[in-house]
Structure 1
Amino acid sequence: MGEVGWPPDCNINAGLELAKTFHDAKISIYLSGKGDEKMLIAAYGVQYMPSQWCLLNEENKNLTMIQLKSAMPCSLADCRRLDYGSSCNKLDFDGNVSYAFNMYFQVHGLDEGACDFNGLAMMVKTSACRGDFHFPLQLVGAGERLKLAYETSIISGLMLAFSP
């Protein structure tokens, strides 16, 4: 959830009018002095995976293969933003396929093998956006941070053990 009062993942009900209604009511509660007075706080230390995306390879647009391969990523990753009528579904066919490929790639930790789809996809390091629609980056999970800390401590220990 990115903002309080905003439905997640470009829900069909998301909109400025609904958000304004929610926030106006919330602000009046805060100003009245009633309620539990717990204020929302920002999340700090949020880390994103490196800036890499997986997109449809425009040079290898085999429509038959695209139809076969584009359903699988959404069965294993969250593609709700592509739902018909959602406030984010403004992508064309190529954008929808790229979004599906990218979500699968992001969920699988930017693993190169998760961005192939029989040559239909390619990895890019420049921002993958279509107009004002930005393709998401995966957050670094606690397991990934723990793995990095563990690897760093092993390397540090080895360096200390073999230093003169």
Structure 2
Amino acid sequence: PDADLIEGLSPSIALQQENRGRNPRSTVGTATEIYDFLRLLFARVGEVVSHRSGEVMRRHTIDEMVDAVEALPERSKFSVVAPVVIGRPGDHGELLEDLRRQGFVRVAIDDALRDLDEDISLDPQQRHSIEVYVDRLVRKPGIRGRLADSIALALRLAAGKVVIYPLE
């Protein structure tokens, strides 16, 4: 039928029933296969809140990050770091070799500073954290471009995460 305006209709959700083997850990969301859609919905609509400060967390632009670092006192030393692995098991040999090939020199593995030139073997059964040291800088005039490039590289390496560690 022809209509100029239709209001009050809720969006429809299509569910498909399959009679697969039952898993005792299934929930209504996983059994009806709506779980993935709910995850996407809450990821887009929800707000991430810091468990430490209680403030809503938001995405920052590279310029905002550079401005925050430039607010440090003059002559402050700091490192730009990319947390590429956070608490994941594995030996991560391919990742370390790839980082070495890309020209990176230093990483922190489980909070211990290591040179990528040395032979590094990790227990594949243990969880590890790996941070790549992208750059080391001193806060002074004229570093804005290099700092922005270093932050952008760290964000690319670590899927949107970067850490600025003060030195000294």
TM-score scaled by length of structure 1: 0.27
Task: Choose between structure 1 and 2: higher helix proportion.
Answer: 1
Task: Choose between structure 1 and 2: higher strand proportion.
Answer: 2
TM-score scaled by length of structure 2: 0.26
